[in-house]
């Protein structure tokens, strides 16, 4: 839909203003849909983040495309182009590395894609923006329902109090490694009592049953206390 730039610049065309507002509202609604799916997965970026990113992207797109109509030979894409890099910078705050595992990458990519959907809505590409949002939500749902895609490696801590015996820590390390659990770091604290406090920073293999592990450790006579 081509807008009346002259009417928009003068601020008299109410229908044009209403259509632009509709674009922002559509972008916000799509952001809410995407954010709701992320919230149900207990992700750091939820409903408000995705809604604001989509709505803000649509607003910036509109300003970039129609806000400088009084400037001769202006570049309509100049301001909008900064959305991609700006949201990319925002996404870096959601990514962190722990025990050689990258966390938050999918969430950051989702926020970046949500910005693209907001840009499409701001440009008046309703079909593309709505279809892209639906495809994004369906993809996330399918990936989480299929166990092959849903199961990923995870990191964690295992805090144990062991009876102070020769080779107690080494035996526990061998046991964890036999379960294909990678040990990233070990912290050992000895006290005056006949016990050793050990903290393992570990990386669990995809689909590992941590409940079984802690239940098995609880039955070990050399393990006095267990904490995660």
**Domains in the chain: boundaries:** 5-150, 154-227
**Which residues have CB under 8 Å from 24's CB, separation 6+?**
55, 58, 59, 62, 121, 122
Question: What is the value of pTM for the model shown?
Answer: 0.63
Element (H, E) at 38: helix 14-40
Range 10-29 average pLDDT: 83
Q: What is the pLDDT of residues 62-76, one digit of tens each?
A: 988 888 777 777 777
CB 48 within 8 A of CB 26: no
Give percent of the chain above pLDDT 70. 86
CB 117 within 8 A of CB 136: yes
Q: Which CATH class is domain 154-227?
A: alpha beta
3-state secondary structure of 40: helix
CA 118 → CA 1, 63, 78, 210, distances in Å? 17, 13, 17, 40
Integer Cα distance of 1 and 23 in angstroms: 12
* Predicted pLDDT of residue 6: 46
Q: Regarding predicted confidence, which is higher, 22 or 74?
A: 22
Integer Cα distance of 213 and 211 in angstroms: 5
Integer Cα distance of 80 and 84 in angstroms: 8
Query: Does the structure show a pLDDT above 90 at 121?
Result: yes
């Amino acid at each position: 839909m081509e807008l009346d730039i002259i009417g928009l610049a003068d601020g008299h065309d109410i229908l044009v203003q209403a259509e632009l507002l509709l674009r922002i509202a559509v972008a916000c609604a799509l952001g809410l849909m995407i954010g709701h799916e992320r919230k149900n997965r207990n992700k750091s970026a939820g409903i408000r983040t995705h809604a604001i990113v989509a709505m803000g992207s649509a607003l910036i797109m509109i300003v970039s495309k129609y806000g400088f109509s009084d400037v001769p030979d202006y570049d309509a894409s100049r301001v909008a182009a900064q959305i991609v890099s700006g949201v990319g910078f925002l996404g870096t705050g959601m990514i962190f590395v722990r025990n050689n595992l990258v966390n938050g990458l999918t969430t950051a990519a989702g926020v970046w894609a949500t910005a693209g959907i907001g840009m499409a809505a701001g440009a008046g590409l309703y079909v593309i923006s709505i279809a892209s949002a639906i495809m994004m939500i369906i993809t996330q749902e399918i990936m989480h329902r299929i166990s092959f895609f849903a199961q990923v490696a995870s990191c964690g801590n295992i805090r144990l109090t062991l009876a102070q015996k020769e080779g107690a820590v080494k035996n526990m390390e061998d046991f964890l490694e036999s379960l294909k659990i990678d040990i990233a770091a070990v912290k050992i604290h000895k006290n005056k009592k006949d016990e050793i406090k050990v903290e393992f920073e570990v990386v669990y293999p995809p689909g590992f049953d941590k409940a079984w592990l802690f239940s098995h450790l609880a039955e070990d006579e050399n393990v006095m206390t267990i904490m995660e």
